[in-house]
Amino acid sequence: MCSTPDPDANLQRADALVRRAAADGAGLVLLPEKWTAYGAPEDIAAGAQLLDGPAITWARALAAELSIDLVAGSVAEAVPGQERTANTSVHVGPDGEIHATYRKLHLFDVTIDGRRYAESEREQPGEAMVLSHTADGVGLGLSVCYDLRFPELYRSLALAGARVLLVPAAFTWATTLQHWEVLLRARAIEEQCFVIAANQHSEAVPGLRTGGHSMVVDPWGVVIARAPADTDAVVLADLDLDRLEHVRATLPSLQHRRPEAYARPVEGT
């Protein structure tokens, strides 16, 4: 999607895309980061909602109607009693119930191509990683955008039982060009998981450009589905969990870990 500061228009667009995905056979659907309202920091703050607000109420109703697992990307969550919002990903099951809520751990405080991003000024970080499960029991590792640069999060999720890693994002144009695919494929290869990544595209507001190229990567690091850079799209892929287990059995790197040796490096002489 290319979300804008208009929550109503974004929800209508998301509804059409999710329905298209389900009609094409998707049983697990992921939306991008901040799909409900994206733009300048004040636009995102203005679009913040409680988790019983319109966006997640819609997600619950639609997941039940279509009998799908719907991970509603992330939304700017208005947290009662807190001045700052949370960047929150919500997994809704086919029963219409919220199965997991994950608040983004790593906040994007950087300067890219001369533009300063300072999420911590308006957002508060989460405090815990979150593993959820689809209706048929497949482990889902939840994350959001900038989390992608922190491999220890994904290793912990894989060891906890994740088979699919989810990355809703609004990666900048510059970092999408240079880092997006490399990081997604690296996380898939390292953790021997499928990675599903839904990225915002184009300009939400003038001067704020994201890179698109939403994709699905298999546990061998192969991109098995990809969206264009600059248009709304539904990306579909079959997740062959037997292939995942084959990869883990034939190249058992997760079993070869030696965590007792990683605690502290020995000083050289």
pLDDT in tens, 159-215: 999 999 999 999 999 999 999 999 999 999 999 999 999 999 999 999 899 999 999
Out of 77, 104, 119, 123, pick the active-site residue: 104
Among this protein's residues, is 193 annotated catalytic?
Answer: no
User: Which pLDDT score is estimated for 115?
Assistant: 86
Among this protein's residues, is 145 annotated catalytic?
Answer: yes
Residue ranges per domain, the chain? 7-250
Out of 123, 145, 191, 193, pick the active-site residue: 145
Mean pLDDT over 216-238 rounds to: 97
Packing angle of the helix pair 151-160, 181-191 (nearest 10 deg): 40
pLDDT in tens, 157-175: 999 999 999 999 999 999 9
pLDDT in tens, 3-35: 999 999 999 999 999 999 999 999 999 999 999
The pTM of this model reads 0.96
- For domain 7-250, give its CATH number from 1.20.1250.20, 3.60.110.10, 3.40.50.1220, 1.10.1060.10: 3.60.110.10
- Which of 226, 174, 229 has the alpha carbon at shortest distance from 200? 229
Q: Per-residue pLDDT for 258 more than 70?
A: yes
